[in-house]
């Protein structure tokens, strides 16, 4: 259930923030979503952020290419060394997914760090002090 909720929050939040802010605003959204939903392992949070942005960026690139009938992708393909249209869709989606995955995992680790309730062990051990 947490996976689906975080997934939908990242997709919706990143879509609306990228309408008004730069592309990297999805990093902030993924980090906040990672902070809000507590996963025991960072891998789960990474996978959620990666999958959400990968699918949303791939879908947006595909629909943008379909709307302009492939004109822009043809020009980009020739400028980048004759890449195929699926490659032009998948490469940015993978890059955005990795960035969002790390942001989500960072938010999850920050939550575990600040809200764990256990004091962090700093300095030397008490047993080392008594033997000295």
pLDDT tens per residue, the chain (132 residues)?
Answer: 888 999 999 999 999 999 999 999 999 999 999 999 888 888 889 999 999 999 999 999 899 888 988 787 888 888 888 888 888 889 999 999 999 999 999 999 999 888 876 554 545 555 555 565
Residue 99 lies in a domain: yes
Backbone φ and ψ for 93, nearest 5 degrees, come out as: -65, -40
C-alpha dist (Å) from residue 8 to 1, 24, 36, 48, 132: 11, 18, 13, 10, 56
Q: Is the separation of the CB atoms in 100 and 30 below 8 Å? A: yes
Residue 35 lies in a domain: yes
pLDDT score for 117: 61
Number of separate domains in the chain: 1
pLDDT score for 127: 56
Residue 101 lies in a domain: yes
pLDDT score for 118: 59
Full domain range(s) for residue 83: 2-117
Residue 94 lies in a domain: yes
Q: 3-class DSSP state for residue 49?
A: helix
Residue 60 lies in a domain: yes
Residue 23 lies in a domain: yes
Residue 122 lies in a domain: no
Residue 107 lies in a domain: yes
pLDDT score for 41: 81
**Dist CA 85 CA 39 (whole Å):** 36
């Amino acid at each position: 259930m947490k996976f689906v909720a975080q997934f939908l929050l990242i997709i919706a939040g990143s879509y609306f923030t990228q309408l008004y802010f730069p592309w990297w605003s999805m990093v902030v959204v993924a980090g906040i979503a990672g902070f809000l939903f507590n996963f025991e392992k960072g891998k789960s949070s990474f996978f959620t952020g990666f999958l959400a942005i990968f699918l949303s960026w791939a879908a947006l690139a595909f629909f943008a290419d379909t709307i302009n009938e492939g004109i822009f992708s043809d020009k980009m393909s020739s400028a980048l060394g004759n890449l195929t249209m699926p490659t032009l869709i998948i490469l940015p989606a993978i890059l955005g997914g990795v960035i969002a995955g790390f942001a989500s995992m960072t938010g999850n680790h920050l939550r575990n760090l600040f809200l764990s309730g256990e004091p962090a062990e700093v300095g030397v051990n008490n047993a080392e002090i008594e033997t000295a």
